[in-house]
Structure 1
Amino acid sequence: MTAPAQPAEELAPVRASWQPTPAHTRATVAGFAMVVFGVLVRRPELLVLGTPLFLVSLWSFVTRPDRDPVVAAGPRHLTLREGQGTRWVAQVQPGPGVEDVGLALMGTPHTDFEPAARAVSAASDGVGPVTAAVACRSNRWGRRQLGPAVLSVSGAFGGYRWAPDVVDSRPVTTVPLPDTFSARVPVPRPDGLVGQNRSHHAGDGGEFADIRQFRFGDRLRRVHWPVSIRTGQLHVTSTYADQDSEVVLLVDAMHDIGTSEGAGGRSSSLDNAVRAAGAIAEHYLRTGDRVGLRVLGARGVPALDSAAGKNHLRRVLDTLARTTASKGTVADEKRLRGQLRHRVGTGALVVVLTPAISSEVLGHALALSRRGIPVIVIDTLPSELASPDLDAHLLDTVMPEADKHPQASLLAWRMRLLEREHEMRRAREAGVPIVPWSGPGTLDIVLRDLGRRSRAPRVVSR
């Protein structure tokens, strides 16, 4: 799946002033001192050593730049997809006396740089513009700042330098690259006005329902002439109405279990949840359905009401990119309880993406199911971490400070897995399907079963 090209952002202007470098100061003082001392004490070797230093420093002072360069710096793109790259660029319009332009970036997590040293330089003729750039490739979704950067514009012999303290830039948002996903089975109970899902009621649609006698108001293009001629009465074809459906995504960000190595590497539970949510949202929004999103436990991530369209897909992916794992504080627990009080329409399909570590999230899915709302739980815990026998390296990713108490940590993780299995079994027995994320077709069998169940009579709690 290829990501759409993003337009280049306007670079921010950078301002500073020319200052003599420490090397220029040392050369001036040392050269002048050796020349004067050599003349006074009649030591020619001091004149030989000090004269070149003094002349170079004097030449640097005479040819020093007389005006500030025009500099604009920053990343070329502020929105990327996982695996996409951009350039951190410094564009310099130099003046007379400018010889070199240097750029160096600080390291950023989950980002590859070219060159690997994150430092480049370019020579200037003092007339034409100069560009220094470091290529950056973002390997994981999230909102991060590339840099900060150190920029330097030097005069002749490095005597004078134009250098701001630190060049900061706006954060770069890396939206998740959705996994490949498709669903051939429609949502159980579509409740919208228009769409591509077949309704259970007759209406103006594209799927054949029945042939019946002509009624006042039927369109003439619906007349079925073979049956009309055979019976001697006008008959028309009826169709099922086409409706859109509402899909509500609940992403559990209370825990992030496992190690995240970015695109192409191992994924944590939050990685699986974010990418799966992006894939499901992209699939249903492209088919004309409405998608809503709530990130449970995350701070500063707004809830998105159900909407449709390509612009809404961008909002969903941008919201997922802002997701951060909860720290497990009391405030986070209160925030989670407040987020679980959201309203869900009776015709919506709720997809809960969780590693099933938080019992409150599974309990919420169970409560929605008892209200008659179709609910699907997607298990995002990495498969290698669901085993009770973990080696020391994997145990460190799920239990903090496991190296200090390996046996106790392993026992604690086994007990948590037993509790998790008990809670998942309880949810399944109550009618909440739980499936691991496996890409295309993950929800087909579950949606088919939910569709059959939705047409059967049942008792729900209000």
Structure 2
Amino acid sequence: MSSVPGAAAAATEELAPVRASWRPTPAHTRATLAGLGLVAVAVMWRRPELLVFGTPLLAVALWGLLTRPEADPVVVAGARHLTLREGQATRWVAEVGPAPGVEDVGLALMPTPFTEYEPAVREVAVSAGAGEEPLELAVACRSTRWGRRVLGPAVLAVSGPFGAYRWAPDVVTTPPVTTVPLPDHFDARVPVPRPDGLVGQNRSHHPGDGGEFADIRPFRFGDRLRRVHWPVSVRTGELHVTATHADQDSEVILLVDAMHDIGLSQGTGGRSTSLDNAVRAAGAIAEHYLRTGDRVGLHVLGARELPAVGSAAGKNHLRRVLDTLARTRSADGTFADEKRLRAQLRHRVPSGALVVVLTPAISSDVLSHALALSRRGISVVTVDTLPPEIARPDVDPVLLGTVIPQAAESPDAAGLAWRVRLLERAHEMRRAREAGVPIVPWAGPGTLDLVLRDLGRRSRAPRVVSR
């Protein structure tokens, strides 16, 4: 894999064996029938010129029959890696063990969306030499978008002498390859407003054992001697100790709105949809807070057969979060999806958690849920994931077709409908901001700093909440 740019660093998967049997090729069948027919006609009708044409065909067919391979070759095939990150590459490999009668091996891979190939034609072929080394055919596959996709299927063929017999399975399929999102670079320099855990790196508002200085106070029963501040104790004649703020962890709950996928996705380095922005932003936020020792939970709103990920910490939990994001699929917009969304919005949220809602703000139910959480006294931040090129009245007709499927039939009516929806969206977002729910566009590093700072000040101020 070192020769493949952007190769994955995951462990290499075991290739699966492929079963088939030797069968005569159509060319061998045609040569046999044509040779026999021409020779028979030449003998019966005394036509020597037909004998000249039929004898070579019959000789080649007879030679191919006599040299027919007896043993089946040992063939294993599949993708080298089943887990990638966006932009990483793997290889679809077929290994053919040495066997008598094997002359040529060919491999052709069917196209897969959001995948780049090397060679671009997705076809490779090799000829067997005189050595005993196994033959290997490989097509490099680079995944350009998160998700679960099957590479292929592939068509594999092994031919014998003169191309008379071919060993070829129908199609070769492999398990789906999971491409986890490549998180955007994100770094929050402001801590979570109200940490409520027992361990972590966030400064608590309460004194306790920690690493951040709080005050120097007189010694009390139970204080440890290593906390004694000797310069002040000597100067005042009484023992004084150093007080610190407690270190606590916080809980971050990510709500990813998958009810709509708006825009045109071109993979890494190109245009992105609203769901692309939400998934990559969620991965970046989860990676940042899990590395700082906090707990992160994930709820994908509107997704089918995708259970919620409970709040936990650690590197293994980051893998679970990214795998869940990779399996995210947008809803179909049916009544069942809306019913499922209402059930998912009844999830439990602890009072001290930070809730980050990633939504294009097209579904009013998601914004209403964020507003309801804020009224309960929970710290809520809404990240607007709608692509900027779509959140404008004069949207490109091609992009408008991804939002309204009937845009090609009546572009004027579709454009008017989208402008009206943008006005309603702006009104709903303004009401949410006035109610205390901050809404910020995703901008990578520092996106949440100013918002978290304001939420921290607000959390320390007295307020009335609804229970």
Coarse TM-score class (shorter-chain normalised): over 0.9
Report the counterpart of residue 51 of structure 2 in structure 1. 47
Give the CA deviation at 1:94.
3.4
Query: How do 1:13-412 residues align onto structure 2 when only pairs under 5 Å count?
Result: 13-125=17-129, 127-412=132-417
Partners of 2:266 and 2:22 in 1: how far apart?
43
Q: What SS class does the counterpart of residue 167 from structure 1 fall into? A: coil
CA deviations on 1:219-278 (whole Å, 9 max, x unpaired) are: 222111110111111111010000011000000000001000100000000000000000
Q: TM-score, normalised by structure 1?
A: 0.98
Regions of 4+ moved over 6 Å: none
Q: What SS class does the counterpart of residue 440 from structure 2 fall into? A: strand
Partners of 2:125 and 2:173 in 1: how far apart?
19
Give the CA deviation at 1:401.
2.0
Q: What SS class does the counterpart of residue 117 from structure 1 fall into? A: coil
Partners of 1:443 and 1:294 in 2: how far apart?
19
Partners of 1:67 and 1:144 in 2: how far apart?
35
CA deviations on 1:300-356 (whole Å, 9 max, x unpaired) are: 111000000000000000000000010011110110000000000001000000000
Report the counterpart of residue 431 of structure 1 in structure 2. 436
Question: Is 1:12 equivalent to 2:1 in the alignment?
Answer: no
Matching residue's letter, 2:414: S
Q: What SS class does the counterpart of residue 328 from structure 2 fall into? A: coil
CA deviations on 1:410-454 (whole Å, 9 max, x unpaired) are: 110011001101110110000000000000000000000000000
Q: What SS class does the counterpart of residue 383 from structure 1 fall into? A: coil
CA deviations on 1:379-424 (whole Å, 9 max, x unpaired) are: 0000111111223222222211201101110110011001101110
Give the CA deviation at 1:53.
1.4
Query: How do 1:435-446 residues align onto structure 2 when only pairs under 5 Å count?
Result: 435-446=440-451
Give the CA deviation at 1:135.
0.9
Partners of 2:58 and 2:406 in 1: how far apart?
60
Q: What SS class does the counterpart of residue 152 from structure 1 fall into? A: strand
Partners of 1:260 and 1:11 in 2: how far apart?
32
Moved more, 283-292 or 60-69: 60-69
Partners of 1:59 and 1:429 in 2: how far apart?
87
Report if the CA contact (8 A) 2:207-2:246 is conserved: yes
Q: What percentage of residue pairs aligned between the two structures are identical?
A: 77
Partners of 2:396 and 2:311 in 1: how far apart?
43
Report if the CA contact (8 A) 1:98-1:125 is conserved: no
Report the counterpart of residue 423 of structure 2 in structure 1. 418
Gaps in structure 1 of 5+ consecutive residues: none
Partners of 1:54 and 1:117 in 2: how far apart?
36
Report if the CA contact (8 A) 2:19-2:169 is conserved: yes
Report if the CA contact (8 A) 1:395-1:410 is conserved: yes
Q: What SS class does the counterpart of residue 62 from structure 2 fall into? A: helix
Q: What SS class does the counterpart of residue 349 from structure 2 fall into? A: coil
Report if the CA contact (8 A) 2:80-2:92 is conserved: yes
Report if the CA contact (8 A) 1:247-1:291 is conserved: yes
The CA RMSD measured in Å over matched residues stands at: 1.2
CA deviations on 1:195-223 (whole Å, 9 max, x unpaired) are: 00000011110000011122232222211
Report if the CA contact (8 A) 2:8-2:89 is conserved: no
Matching residue's letter, 1:379: D
Q: What SS class does the counterpart of residue 385 from structure 1 fall into? A: coil
Moved more, 398-407 or 426-435: 398-407
Q: What SS class does the counterpart of residue 210 from structure 2 fall into? A: coil
Partners of 2:50 and 2:380 in 1: how far apart?
88
Q: What SS class does the counterpart of residue 216 from structure 1 fall into? A: coil
Q: TM-score, normalised by structure 2?
A: 0.97
Moved more, 225-234 or 37-46: 37-46
Report if the CA contact (8 A) 1:354-1:381 is conserved: yes
Partners of 1:406 and 1:192 in 2: how far apart?
54
Report if the CA contact (8 A) 2:155-2:169 is conserved: yes
Q: What SS class does the counterpart of residue 402 from structure 1 fall into? A: helix
Q: What SS class does the counterpart of residue 315 from structure 1 fall into? A: helix
Give the CA deviation at 1:165.
0.7
Partners of 1:404 and 1:412 in 2: how far apart?
14
Q: What SS class does the counterpart of residue 406 from structure 2 fall into? A: coil
Give the CA deviation at 1:3.
8.9
Report if the CA contact (8 A) 2:7-2:90 is conserved: no
Give the CA deviation at 1:55.
1.4
Gaps in structure 2 of 5+ consecutive residues: 1-5
Give the CA deviation at 1:4.
6.5
Partners of 2:360 and 2:389 in 1: how far apart?
13
Matching residue's letter, 1:329: T
Partners of 1:411 and 1:118 in 2: how far apart?
44
Note closer, same or farther for the CA distance 1:3–1:61 as it changes in structure 2 (3 Å cut). Answer: closer
Report if the CA contact (8 A) 2:8-2:90 is conserved: no
Report if the CA contact (8 A) 2:8-2:88 is conserved: no
Q: What SS class does the counterpart of residue 77 from structure 2 fall into? A: strand
Partners of 1:53 and 1:203 in 2: how far apart?
94
